Structure 1
Amino acid sequence: MIKRIRFRAVILLLGLFCNISLAESLRIYIDDEKDLLVFTGKVEPINIAGATNNMLLDAIGEYPIEFVPSSYKRALRIMSQQPHPTCLFNKVKTPIREANFLFSLPINLYLSRRLYIHSHADPLEETLLDKQGNVKSLPLLFDAHKNKLIVIASDFSYGPFLDEQLAQVSSENKVIREGSNHYDTVYRMFNLRRVDFLLAYPAEIYRHVKIDKATYQSYRMANSPEYILGHVMCNDTKVSRAFITKVNDIMVTLYKQESFIEAHLKYLPEEEHSITRRYIGTLK
């Protein structure tokens, strides 16, 4: 572990301060300050993404990687315009992204986002729910609650299914949070009751409520995917193609290891373990 950290630190320093060409290195842009600390080995992971990314990087070993703090918008512009091998971690596949970038096999799996409302609020009306108690759609929800607010992260994909529904919700009902640490910033706004609704992974809510002891009502979204997969996304260069191939070879091996499953279960409530284990079993 120490050897890996030192190697990455040297690459970062050379790239930023010595102005030495690193033509064969690969840059990983990171838009979350806490993720950067995990990637560089300065703190332990606090979620599924951090734990699984660490497993992957440990398996990769010594590799010429630069970790670069950057907003997602800036990183995307650089990936689109510059030829240097560049990647982002924890990205969801969307049709537009797949048309422009390379994707690895899945690195992690999250149970799909649910709609959270405050514990003191009235339960949602039955007319908004299907027979299984799932929310029929976000547009229908806000047609019935025109004065209520949902917080969402800026320049962030919630997956094709929810992205399409959010696009149909009036801007009057959406509070857009800019900046890094998006999981924490949107949760904080919701926790402070400045908005009425939050779309969040069960794993992220579990992480927060273990600390603040808050309670919420939650609803599944009707017809939504059962889970969301996070991938490495890179621009199309010779180096990044080789990196994606290396990542894929490692992931095929990791899928079979109990430690990979435990890297997910550790950050989930026990009632979600069985279904998560089953979903991970489908990865290959």
Structure 2
Amino acid sequence: MLYRQFLLLITLLFTTLISTCNAEQITIHTNNWAEFNAFQNNDATESLSIATNMHALKDVYSSIKFKYMTTQRTLQYIDEGHSICVVNRVKTKERLEKYIFSQPINLFLSQRLYQQADSTPLQSSNNVINLSDIFNEKPNAQILLAEQVSYGDAIDAELKKIPEKNIMRRYSGEQDIGIANMFVKKRAEFAILYPQQVFNFITNIDARSYEINGNPPYILGYLMCTKNPANSNFIKKVNHQLNSNIEELLKLHLNFVDPTDKIMLTHYFDQAFKHKLTETP
């Protein structure tokens, strides 16, 4: 009798342990194969995105299950109520109503409009352009855009004004690398890219760039999660890690930026992170 009770107790404890582990496991999606492989192999040397996210997730790494998934499918799963987190998301008003966010994890110098170097330069004021105006000047040109990706409120608002015939959309995964590859292959005259992305790209991108009017000087990347208690607790742990070593986070950023931009990036980092990382999550 005592033996049977002992076996029952062990079974209950084991079941509880398994349930607890499953409940605490966090699923994180990325639409980038290089990021997925780096996360799986705990390798933080590939890019700014990978290095900063690995830094933020260091204390909770063992509780994470990483999955490769296209942005479209990830958003579909989240909208269906699945418990998922996604790296490198931009905060927008619409997303803030639906999801929860970590404190900022990475800072990218704001996207610029890149134009093929062998095309006629745009007419601009101090190298600043309005996205919605460029196709009045070049009615047959096209711009490469990643589907299901937000470029931030300011750019998203401008993109809605561009005629569909002037847009070449990329629907599959690997959005950042895919758009850059398509631009290098001259699939379109224009693309919206990050300066750090261009600097770290494996192939030289032969293009001129323009500042986008109304776009803030930098954009912050966050961990975005479905709203539920487990994810809220997870984000608190991530935020604690971010708060614990801000100087290390700055060093990681400086490893992946054009040397000519280091002073500017440091200024923006101090402006954004040292304020944001003191906010209550």
Classify the TM-score, shorter chain.
Answer: 0.7 to 0.9
2:10 match:
none
The equivalent of 1:35 in structure 2 is 35
Q: CA deviation at 1:77?
A: 2.1
CA displacement 1:89-144 (0-9 Å, x = unmatched)? 1100011110000011100000000011122222212xxx23x3211x11111111
**Cα-to-partner distance string for 1:240-261 (whole Å, 9 max, x where unaligned):** 0101111111112232x1x311
CA contact (8 A) 1:25 1:85 kept: no
Which residues of 2 match residues 183-194 of structure 1 at below 5 A? 183-194=176-187
- Name the residue aligned to 1:93: 91
In 2: Cα distance, 1:26 partner to 1:57 partner: 11
Considering only CA atoms, is the larger Rg found in Structure 1 or Structure 2?
2
User: Could you tell me how far apart the structure 2 residues matched to 1:162 and 1:102 are?
Assistant: 22
Instruction: List alignment gaps of at least 5 residues for structure 1.
Output: 1-19
**Contact 2:105–2:221 under 8 Å retained in 1:** yes
Name the amino acid aligned to 1:68.
K
Contact 1:56/1:247 (<8 A) preserved = yes
Deviation string 1:72-94 (CA, Å, 9 cap, x unpaired) is: 22222222223x53211110001
Are 1:276 and 2:269 an aligned pair?
A: no
Secondary structure of the corresponding residue to residue 91 of structure 2: coil
How far off is 1:61 after superposition?
4.7
Conservation of the 8 A alpha-carbon contact between 2:147 and 2:170: yes
Look up the match of 1:160: 153
In 2: Cα distance, 1:178 partner to 1:133 partner: 30
SS at match of 1:22: helix
Q: Percent identity?
A: 27
CA distance in 2, matches of 1:214, 1:141: 21
Rounded to whole Å, the distance in 2 between the matches of 1:109 and 1:52 is: 9
Write the distance in 2 (CA, Å) between the matches of 1:198 and 1:156: 14
Q: Secondary structure at the match of 1:271?
A: helix
- Give the Å deviation of 1:167: 1.0
Q: CA RMSD in A?
A: 2.0
> Which letter maps to 1:186?
I
Bigger mean CA deviation after superposition, 38-47 or 27-36: 38-47
2:221 is matched with 230
Q: Which amino acid aligns with 1:56?
A: A
C-alpha deviation, 1:68, in angstroms: 1.9
CA distance in structure 1 between the partners assigned to 2:117 and 2:76 by the alignment? 41
- Counterpart of 1:195, as a letter, is A
Amino acid at match of 1:133: N
Match of 2:238 among 227, 230, 247: 247
Aligned residues: 256
The amino acid of 2:177's aligned partner reads D
Q: Name structure 2 gaps, 5 residues minimum.
A: 1-19
TM-score, with structure 1 as normaliser: 0.85
